[in-house]
Chain A
Amino acid sequence: MTVEAADAAIVVSRRRRIRVLAAAGPTAALLLLSFAFAMANPKFLTAANLKNLADQSAIPLVLGVGMTFVILLGAIDLSVEGNLATTSLVVALVMADQTNALDIGSWGILLGVIVGVVFGFVNGFVSVSGRIPTFMVTLGTWSIGLGIGQILFGGEPPRLELSARAWGIDRLFFGVTNLFFVALGVILIGWLIQRQTKLGRYAYAIGGGEEMAKQSGINVGMYKIFLFTLAGAAFGLAGAMLLARTGVGDIRAVGGFLFTTISGVVIGGTLLSGGRGGVLHSSVGILTMVVLRNGMILSGVDQFFQDAVQGFILIAVLVITAWPNRRRMRFVA
């Protein structure tokens, strides 16, 4: 073995170690957190509460999958809540509700995804063709989405008939709502896209270095638009899921999801700078966020301290997570 080859082997093994640590960090943090909550209140690990965690994580998980592809690009999509507001209102109005006679049944869910796709496409297309930072474009569409939601809301929230929500809130397996299995399906699809398709591989390539990707002949603009559209589809589906869960098309119901989504994705180890992480990482991060909220209630953390504790634990988890990546983070900063 030549010296160069040995060096290369060391570099490779070092990289692999970093990658393993980067993947293990968030999972370890989630387990540690769960362990702590279980010690604080044994009810945390009961079947009833695990079902709660599954139910409560379904929508954030789907949002996380969509957001992952955007963040992998080194971009951001702030329009999550706008997208949710519009899609959930549109779906509410076209399915069986008390405000109008129109009822297109389960096609409403598909319509929600389509509206989400329109949002995603616009985000991608405007930022690519106008060369506007995604941060700004999606800030705009966030507001547009809330505005459209407000127009559709019209003063009285449309309330879905129970039959129109059954697809999501029925419990076909293990007493967990179907929404959770929808989320698992979305994670699987997301993972397959990430691993098995050009779209997924190019997302890493573009996020890792856009110029390089361009020079190697990737149509960066087109793939960016595709990936934003994909994220939009996930957000649209989440809008339909949110409606099934709460039963009311109400733009006030969308608050807080952006925070959970972005924090979850980043905690999971998908770097904001792009090119690193993935769907499974993000899912672990999202679960951490859901466990945090649930566990704090169960362990009796005083509600006046919960926001502060949440912030503190977030930073602690980020430090644990980012430790293996710190060289890269420093490089980016």
Chain B
Amino acid sequence: MTRFNTRTLLPLFVVLALMGAACSAGGSTGTQAPTTAEPATAAPTTAAPTTAAADNGIAIKDIHLVYSGRTLSNPYYVRASAGAQCFADSLGIGDNYQFLASEGDSAKQLSQITSVLAAYGPAVALNVDPHETSILPEILAEVEKAGAYIVTQWSRPDNIKPGDAEYPHWIAHVTFDGVDNGYQIAKIMFDIMGGEGNIVAIQGVLDNQAAITRFQGLQKALKEYPGITLLSDQTANWSATEAQTVMETWIAEYGDTIDGVWAGNDNMAIGAIEALRTVGRVGEVPVVGVDAIPDALTAIKNGEMAATFNPDPAYQGSIGLAMGVAAITGELDVASVPLEKRSAFHKGILVTADNVDQFMGDVDCGAYTDAWANLFGRAENPDF
């Protein structure tokens, strides 16, 4: 019996020992670990928009705020979650905020959300970035069952949208116009090139909505600039490593004739920059991307990258919760909001060397108070 126990427990000990060893190997190095995920204690002094108890009897202190995204190993979600935390702190309910990491698994995302709804019922304000559009109807059904409120981000199935009679608790869908993003970064690059020359384009995962629309934006810009030639386009599956390989291969094929690099996201733009570095052309060839990840901002600051598009993750992370709280407290009458605001492309910001400084460093909670007060202020064009 003893022997059996040793046998079964041994692997467990060893695994734990490994975790300890590896953690201390990195831990002792003064890792900055989760500090960025928890924003500097925001001023709880900011008065809550609504202090009165809700008409349905739910007080602000009982509201549970949830942001469901992919993973905190992605700077985008780290910043989005920091924005969400800012909002929770501004209401003085910082401890009621929770990030749910789907880790790229739709089933996991659904079960996490179901668990939270089971625990807090109608007092939940959900801000959800669905891992796959196909999982959304099930999430919405759970929300309706619990009577909670939900705002969705980025992608939704084409056949359903906020305002549908089936989903009265689906406040809004917040997204960005991929075509416009792809177009704007292309346009600024073409202008830097003086309207003439050859470019290459690195695409995201080919069947991904963001990848498709951003590339359409590039094509739209190409039509307006007849002097620009697209030499080749390739997918690098959103990965910096793959983008580096693809770019190296192009450099072998086209050499110095490449005058610009359009990338579907910043991660791939960074990979392309590394490839350009090895041939000493970094900074000489304009590279553009989308997302405004920290690395890209640094690259823009250093003059290695020309531009990126900032969907403002901290805004995305917080606005959904702000809408949710307003709906729960009764301050916002969901049904009275015009449909073209409820499913809309929101305003993002083109980042270049001129304005990059304002997006670097920790999330500035104060910058979003206006957005939280004017919930649909950034909703520009209808998304349907």
Contacts and interface: CB of A to CB of B under 8 A. Distances in A.
Interface of A: 41, 43, 46, 48-49, 51-52, 55-56, 86, 89-90, 93-94, 98-102, 111, 114-115, 118-119, 122, 125-126, 129-132, 137, 140-141, 144, 148-157, 159, 169, 177, 242, 245-248, 250-253, 255-256, 293-294, 297-298, 300, 303-304, 306
Interface string B1-43: 0000001101100110111011101100111111111000000
B71 interface: yes
Nearest to B298: A159
A90 B295 CA distance: 19
B252 A126 contact: no
B262 to A, nearest CB: 15
A49 B253 contact: yes
Report whether over half of chain A's contact residues are helix, strand or loop; otherwise say mixed.
helix
A103 B244 CA distance: 26
B327 to A, nearest CB: 30
A43 B253 contact: yes
Given A157-B75, A159-B298, A246 B31 contact: no
Contact of A122 (B18, B248, B295): B18
Interface in B224-265: 232-235, 239-242, 244-246, 248-253, 255
B317 interface: no
B247 to A, nearest CB: 10
Nearest to B79: A155
A154 B36 contact: yes
A230 to B, nearest CB: 17
A122 B15 contact: yes
Closest 5 CB pairs of A and B: A155-B36, A155-B78, A154-B33, A49-B252, A48-B252
Contacts of B270: 248
Contacts of B241: 242, 246, 253, 255-256
Q: Which of B233, B242, B252 has the most CB of A within 10 A?
A: B252
A254 to B, nearest CB: 8
Contacts of A126: 10-11, 14-15
B208 interface: no
B72 interface: yes
B383 interface: no
A148 B26 contact: yes
Contact of B255 (A48, A89, A101): A48
Contact of A52 (B232, B240, B252): B252
A89 B25 CA distance: 11
- Interface extent on B, as a size class? 35 or more
B74 interface: yes
A84 to B, nearest CB: 11
Contact of B18 (A48, A102, A119): A119
Contact of B233 (A48, A56, A303): A303
Contact of A46 (B17, B252, B271): B252
B89 interface: no
A152 to B, nearest CB: 4
B73 to A, nearest CB: 4
Contacts of A48: 251-252, 255
10 contacts: A55-B278, A111-B25, A126-B15, A150-B71, A152-B26, A157-B294, A159-B298, A246-B274, A293-B245, A306-B235
A102 to B, nearest CB: 5
B37 A252 contact: no
B206 interface: yes
A248 B240 contact: yes
B14 A125 contact: yes
A153 B78 CA distance: 11
A79 to B, nearest CB: 11
A298 B249 contact: yes
Given A141-B18, A156-B32, A303-B235, A247 B274 contact: yes
Contacts of B34: 151, 154-155
Given A48-B252, A155-B75, A253-B239, A118 B36 contact: no
B338 to A, nearest CB: 37
B165 to A, nearest CB: 39
B249 A252 contact: no
Q: Which of B11, B71, B270 has the most CB of A within 10 A?
A: B11
Q: Which of B73, B78, B267 has the most CB of A within 10 A?
A: B73
B23 A150 contact: no
Contact of B29 (A90, A150, A256): A90
A132 B15 CA distance: 13
B30 A102 contact: yes
Contacts of B181: none
Contacts of B246: 297
Nearest to A150: B73
Contacts of A294: 245, 249
B19 A144 contact: yes
A144 B18 contact: yes
A265 B42 CA distance: 53
B203 interface: yes
A256 B274 contact: no
Contacts of B271: 246
A251 B245 CA distance: 17
B21 A99 contact: no
A99 B32 contact: yes
Nearest to A242: B241
B239 A89 contact: no
Contacts of B245: 56, 293-294
Nearest to B293: A157
Contacts of A177: 278
Given A155-B34, A159-B295, A245-B244, 14 more contacts: A52-B252, A90-B22, A100-B29, A125-B14, A132-B11, A150-B73, A152-B31, A155-B32, A246-B241, A248-B295, A252-B73, A297-B250, A303-B234, A306-B235
Contacts of B17: 122
